[in-house]
Amino acid sequence: MYPLEKDGLLPAPAPVRQASRLALSKSFCFLLATVCAGIALYILGPQCLSRQFVASYGEVTLKEVLCPQESPLVPSESGELWKELSETYGTKEFFLQAVELLVGAVKVPTESFDKMAPVGQDPRWEVFAPFHDYLLVTFPNVHATLKLTKVNTYGLVYVWEGLDASLKPLLLTAHQDVVPVNPETVAEWVHPPFSGYFDGERIWGRGSFDDKSVLISIMTTVETLIEKDFKPARTVFLAFGFDEETDGLHGASAISKYLLETYGENAFSMLVDEGGLYGVEYGQAYATVGTTEKGAVDVRVEVASPGGHSSIPPAHTSIGILSQLLVHIESQPYKAELKRGTPMYQMAQCLAAHAPELPSKVRKAIEKADKSDKALKAAEKALFTDIRFKALAGTTQAVDLVQGGVKANALPENAWAVVNHRIATDSSVGATQEHDTKLLLHLARQFNLSYSAFGQQIGDADAPAYGTLTLSDAWNTALEPAPVTPSAGGDAGAFRLLAGTIKTVYQVHRNVTDGETVIVSPGIMSGNTDTRYYWQLTKNIFRYSHWWTGTESGLMGGTHSVNEFIFADGFLEMIRFYTALVLNADESQSI
């Protein structure tokens, strides 16, 4: 038989033509169905592929529909270098050197505080100068090879020029600052907060986890690649802000303006910042990549009423009224919903597809949720028993600040509180403000308060009133939910690159057996990062640091609290991650 006859591209000889016609017809239908399924899955995304189609043509499994996974992505052009570095990173000598790099960084306190005056006016910014000195001495290759620009004195932008100017650069970001240590809690630390103590398993100290582990991982990666004579084809940018913990008003904000003015909008192929956890959920290793983040607004609730001597008190003081307002706010939380198409819905689908210990009833509900509102509500009810999942899916509220009164025998003329909201990705700042305004309207009437909310007078401003109720944006820093980075379809090349990189690093670092893998899922970063200022730089923004959190109990390493730490082995794996990311991005034709 000629080759084309064998492949079915020419008619078969007469004796076998009739016998093979049915087989060929079935093969053609199977091939067509498989190809169509693949095209639909790639172009339209898993939510658009009908379950009836999957049921009819089972070659595309339900797992692939619910939560498609990439294959591990191993550097090819730099394959020998990747192999060499993988062996180097596995040595005890490199492990101890890497630990010492992070230990030294933790020992340099770089706290940032709320309401700091601009750089040059507030001396507290000066703590970053010693940290810059540390980086200069510790990473000589980086400073000899990369171009460094200091933005607003303490913002760091490094540029590693690539050989191919036609390739959009890769942008890796982190922040230098850490959350202040409350002096009253120092005695509660197992090891002093800026000791960088290494006990053989964990590195302790403020910033060991958030976020110097990321910054030092990135710097170590670049330092090591230069040492190995690697010369990137794709330019690599490193951008390190210095006040992320206080909203990035002086650091990332200034860096963003500099990058936009110098390189323009959408100048970068992809951006990877801190965030996104990596651990075990329901018996399966999951890496959750933050493809968006929630919005935020701090609502100041302020009550003003007549003062006077406390010996002749009114029925309610401003503090008493404020207290009732706050009780009402807490008793009426926002209704969280699991909505189709959101990153949290996609995360639920990944749990249903791949988590072996997810209860079967929950799995079945999620599988049917695309087509059934009843199933969607059942899945929502079950998943929302996990307060973390529920908080990420909906708008939250937390009364975090309160103040009122100056003396025990004087009626307080003013009392105020601040309610912190993290806004659901399918909501908005405006919807949150409208909700809060309506929520307190009847209490404003009950206490006979003149009511204004976010610059608008509510009701008759000239009517007699006992006092006033004012709602406002506490710091004028309201933030809309971030744009969602594509994780499926034709625009998801950057996500697929990142997912394949994560899988490779998981396999190499943990020396896993065949068939064992980490599931990569879209998700939401729980807080807000410096990426809030970088939306115009690229459409592909990911909040993911390859932080290993262990089992589902969640080892968050005392972040923003006492006894912050990171597992040294997890820190080493982060270095592997950034190394693989730089090498894979350098070879990619999809970003």
Identify the active-site residue in 177, 274, 281, 337: 177
Q: Is 177 a catalytic residue?
A: yes
Say which residue the tokens 């990311």 belong to. 581
Q: What are phi and psi of 153, to 5 degrees?
A: 75, -50
CA distance 313 to 204: 52
CA dihedral (156, 161, 167, 172) positive or negative:
negative
Active site includes 244? Answer: yes
Three-state secondary structure of 427-485: CCHHHHHHHHHHHCHHHHHHCCEEEEECCEEECCCCCCCCEEEEEEECCCCCECCCCCC
Residues tagged in the binding site annotation: 175, 210, 245, 273, 560
Map 374-435 to HEC letters.
HHHHHHHHHHCCCHHHHHHHCCEEEEEEEEECCCCCEECCEEEEEEEEEECCCCCHHHHHHH
Distance in angstroms (rounded) separating the CA atoms of residues 350 and 488:
13
Say whether 549 sits in a helix, a strand or coil: strand
| 342: its two tokens | 């959101």
* Residue keyed to tokens 């997912």: 499
Residues 6+ apart with CB under 8 A from 198: 99, 103, 204, 568
**211 CB-near residues (< 8 Å, 6+ apart):** 174, 175, 178, 244, 274, 545
CA Rg value for the chain: 28
- Choice among 244, 247, 298, 586 that is catalytic: 244
Helix or strand holding residue 224 (H, E): helix 212-227
User: Which amino acids are annotated as binding site for Zn(2+), given as ranges?
Assistant: 175, 210, 245, 273, 560
Token duo for residue 181? 């240590």
> Is the CB of residue 193 less than 8 Å from the CB of residue 547?
no
Q: Checking DSSP bridges between strand 449-453 and strand 467-473, what pairing results, if any? A: parallel
CA distance 302 to 207: 35
Other beta carbons within 10 Å of 66: 25
Tell me how far CA of residue 351 lies from CA of 162, 299, 311, 355, 404, in angstroms. 39, 35, 61, 5, 47
Residues serving a catalytic function are 177, 244
